Structure 1
């Protein structure tokens, strides 16, 4: 079966399921995702935005765009966050398609540069992201890698 990428702002009916799905992956309270998705649905601001990859009726991947992904560099905004693909769906290019989709969608909204905080190295470079600097995650003892995409 083929997956499709959907924008939560165009598929409000997915909001509850998507919030629970992101919560199950990142352990951030589902209410925080719901609040952010409600802001997205108001369409007043460009950020936040949320996206899911769906196969059949199952969410198999997703990501969001928020102002700050819990780090000390408040000037590096907006941030792609919560990037996740279900384990059995990995290595199929879904993460790359999601990243490409979000970059194009945000560019259409006038945002040319996106930032991304991660502990991965070499993964995001495959999709055109460039290492920018190390940043301090909120409440984290070590530093994490900050990437940018233009």
Structure 2
């Protein structure tokens, strides 16, 4: 079980796009377009990651410019973190988060942000509550976290 950078494995775009779409309800083509960006521009802030086991994706996450909130200055944003239920509570989310923080640091990004309605989960992985932001579609307030890369 390894964390795979989509930019290094473009043949997995279709499988990854379908998997993320099934978890978050965002159209498959939106994921394909975003993943193509990280392949075309491998040092861009847009990046996607999956964890596979026995040929199936069991977890994944992405990094995009803005995760649909009003603070366009807080970028890039970790997004779409998901671990299949049967693989939760085994430290996999922490491994993905650490991998992404280190990878983004290697790409030259010193700070990452994320929005969530979780109140304690990300603190376990050294993310720090930063501020409240408004979601674009609903204007609802949501928690913004920050993580400085190593």
Question: Above 0.5 in TM-score?
Answer: yes
Larger displacement relative to structure 2 (46-55 or 67-76): 46-55
Other-structure match for 2:5: 7
TM-score (norm 1): 0.96
Q: What's the C-alpha RMSD, in Å, of the aligned pairs?
A: 0.9
Offset, 1:142: 2.2
Structure 1: runs of 5+ lacking an equivalent? none
Offset, 1:138: 1.2
3-state secondary structure, aligned to 1:14: helix
Structure 2: runs of 5+ lacking an equivalent? none
Does the CA contact (< 8 Å) of 2:43 and 2:107 recur in 1?
no
Larger displacement relative to structure 2 (45-54 or 66-75): 45-54
Does the CA contact (< 8 Å) of 2:63 and 2:76 recur in 1?
yes
Other-structure match for 2:147: 149
- How many residues of Structure 1 are paired with residues of Structure 2 in the alignment? 148
Other-structure match for 1:77: 75
Question: How big is each residue's C-alpha offset from its partner over 1:97-130, in whole Å with a ceiling of 9 and x where there is no partner?
Answer: 0000000000011101000010111000000100
Other-structure match for 2:84: 86
Does the CA contact (< 8 Å) of 2:7 and 2:42 recur in 1?
no
**Structure 2 Cα separation of the partners of residues 37 and 133 of structure 1:** 28
Other-structure match for 2:117: 119
Q: Which of 79, 92, 95 in structure 1 is aligned with 2:93? A: 95
Does the CA contact (< 8 Å) of 2:66 and 2:75 recur in 1?
yes
Other-structure match for 1:107: 105
* Structure 1 residue 59 corresponds to structure 2 residue 57: yes
Offset, 1:45: 4.3
Offset, 1:19: 0.2
Other-structure match for 1:130: 128
**Structure 1 Cα separation of the partners of residues 105 and 130 of structure 2:** 20
Offset, 1:56: 1.5
Q: Where does structure 1 differ by over 2 angstroms across 4 or more consecutive aligned residues?
A: none
